[in-house]
Structure 1
Amino acid sequence: MGLLEGKTLLVTGGSAGIGRATAIEAARQGANVAINYIGDDSIAQSCVQQIEALGRKAIAIKGDVAEPETAKNFVNSAVNALGRVDIFVSNAGICPFHAFLDMPVETFERTMRVNLHGAYWMVQAAANQMVAQGDGGAIVAVSSISALVGGEYQTHYTPTKAGVHSLMQSAAIALGRHGIRCNSVLPGTILTDINKEDLADPEKRARMAARIPLGRLGEPEDLAGPIVFLASDMARYVSGAALLVDGGALVNLQ
């Protein structure tokens, strides 16, 4: 029996990176999975195939999380295909690195719409479905270490991740009476598409890794376990919490 046996998990940004790793680990732990994605159809379908190879049901539903109607469509499509929503993972996000003083309005607004507004609409839609089902659920949002510390080229990004962290705290209060737990994970530097260009320089990558007590940058799979734990009944009395997953980076100030 896996930690998520018999559950149905939905994840946004599920075709690559942390979302994909979470979707596949959830399937290993017994869950059926629906992924939201916006990019390459073939990459999303390959994720579905990996999940099905593990003996679980899976569906990929395309949509831009920045559009409020995408949230309802994702949840409704997942319910139609898989029956219900037990776990929701809000993961989709972007970080187009840019200097502060000449930040384009479009870059700022797009980052806000995807990372913060998108999380809000998705979590709201999933929560409404859980409330209608009447037997609780778990919501996990992927925030960031950037919710707690600054970044010179992330002045548009860090506020969104602080907002996601805060959203989970408030949602934990709003939804607790319905038996719905809400928590966030705060990844450190994880090797995904979001920072691929920023970490393309080998010297910069080595410098970043050297600052981390565990001695390496994170992989998407490093987040899958903590997310599955928070989604599982092993964390049944954990709500409103934020779990750092950063290899010890935040505490290494000396």
Structure 2
Amino acid sequence: MMLLKDKVVIITGASRGIGRAVALECARQGAKLVIGHSGRASGLAAAKNVVSEIQDLDKQAIEVGGDAADLDTGDRLIDAAVSTFGKVDVFVNNAGICPFHSFLDMPKEVYMQTVNTNLNGAYFAVQAAANQMKKQGKGGSIIAISSISALVGGAMQTHYTPTKAGLLSLMQSCAVALGPYNIRCNAVLPGTIATDINKEDLSDPDKLAYMRSRTCLGRLGEPDDLAGPVVFLASDMARYVTGASLLVDGGLFVNLQ
């Protein structure tokens, strides 16, 4: 049985990493996909590859470009989904950046780009998805890819961790605000997942070994590790789950020692 049969799923930042892995699994589970990407040449090429992979699974997908920091990108994603597939059932806010930088000399432009990309754009994209779901009158599922960084600190992430905490809080408040419309809102909190966002940081063999040792399972996460949890929250199996936060971190958070 396919858990997302005939559901229309929008995923931001879906051209690579976690977003790509989630998109492919949603397709395997029967969904029709809107692949959100940056709109830049590299993002477009990667997104087209994901669309091709989904079509190879005999499923439908389109790509839509738009900077996640642009407050109007959410509207464009919703419009494309509705014009192509007629509805929106699931919205996954995944796009995000983490340009590591020290706190005391944080450039204003780095801070603002991170906040606009990770939180401000996400806020209005979630709003656009929620309004469409309300209009349809059949409920829906909104999922934000937050981070374990919503719960813990990082010296080189003082601009990043507040955005991920903000996404978690946004899902909690939206669960309350949108519950009357049967729109469920949940957050997924990945631990250290090996993607492009931390490739440089984890290129240090000692840092890599340390991060692996911090997890209960003794390994870093892979993008595919997020696919199942997101599909669950998107599906009717999670029909009574809203306002929840799901750690997907291999036991990193609980491993005090």
TM-score tier (shorter) = over 0.9
Query: How much does 1:203 deviate?
Result: 2.1
Q: Which runs of 5+ in 1 are unaligned?
A: none
- RMSD value over aligned CA atoms? 0.7
The residue number in structure 1 matching 2:10 is 10
The residue number in structure 2 matching 1:123 is 126
The correspondence for 1:192, drawn from 185, 192, 195, is 195
The equivalences for 1:228-243 within 5 A come to 228-243=231-246
Q: Retained in 1: the 8 A contact 2:151–2:165?
A: yes
The residue number in structure 1 matching 2:21 is 21
Q: How many residues align?
A: 254
Q: Retained in 1: the 8 A contact 2:27–2:57?
A: yes
Question: Structure 1 vs Structure 2: percent identity of aligned residues?
Answer: 62
Q: Which amino acid aligns with 2:64?
A: I
1:179 and 2:167 matched:
no
The residue number in structure 1 matching 2:204 is 201
| CA deviation string 1:86-119 (max 9, x = no partner) | 0000000000000000000000000000000011
Q: Which amino acid aligns with 1:187?
A: P
The 3-state SS of whatever aligns with 1:139 is strand
1:36 and 2:36 matched:
yes
| CA deviation string 1:71-92 (max 9, x = no partner) | 1111101111121100000000
In 1: Cα distance, 2:77 partner to 2:216 partner: 39
Query: How much does 1:42 deviate?
Result: 1.5
TM-score, normalized by length of structure 1? 0.99
Q: Which amino acid aligns with 2:192?
A: T
In 2: Cα distance, 1:50 partner to 1:244 partner: 28
Greater mean deviation of Cα atoms: 18-27 or 73-82: 73-82
Consecutive aligned runs of 4 or more in structure 1 exceeding 6 Å deviation: none
Q: Retained in 2: the 8 A contact 1:57–1:82?
A: no
Q: Which amino acid aligns with 2:137?
A: G
The 3-state SS of whatever aligns with 1:199 is helix
The equivalences for 1:1-254 within 5 A come to 1-38=1-38, 39=40, 40=42, 41-254=44-257
Q: Retained in 2: the 8 A contact 1:28–1:54?
A: yes
| CA deviation string 1:28-76 (max 9, x = no partner) | 0000000110141211100001111111110000000111111111110
In 2: Cα distance, 1:8 partner to 1:50 partner: 17
TM-score, normalized by length of structure 2? 0.98
The 3-state SS of whatever aligns with 1:98 is coil
Q: Retained in 2: the 8 A contact 1:13–1:35?
A: yes
In 2: Cα distance, 1:99 partner to 1:175 partner: 37
The 3-state SS of whatever aligns with 1:77 is helix
The 3-state SS of whatever aligns with 1:68 is coil
Q: Which amino acid aligns with 2:32?
A: N
The 3-state SS of whatever aligns with 2:189 is strand
The 3-state SS of whatever aligns with 1:186 is strand
In 1: Cα distance, 2:54 partner to 2:152 partner: 35
The 3-state SS of whatever aligns with 2:186 is strand
In 1: Cα distance, 2:127 partner to 2:111 partner: 23
| CA deviation string 1:3-22 (max 9, x = no partner) | 10111100000100111101
The 3-state SS of whatever aligns with 1:114 is helix
In 2: Cα distance, 1:9 partner to 1:202 partner: 38
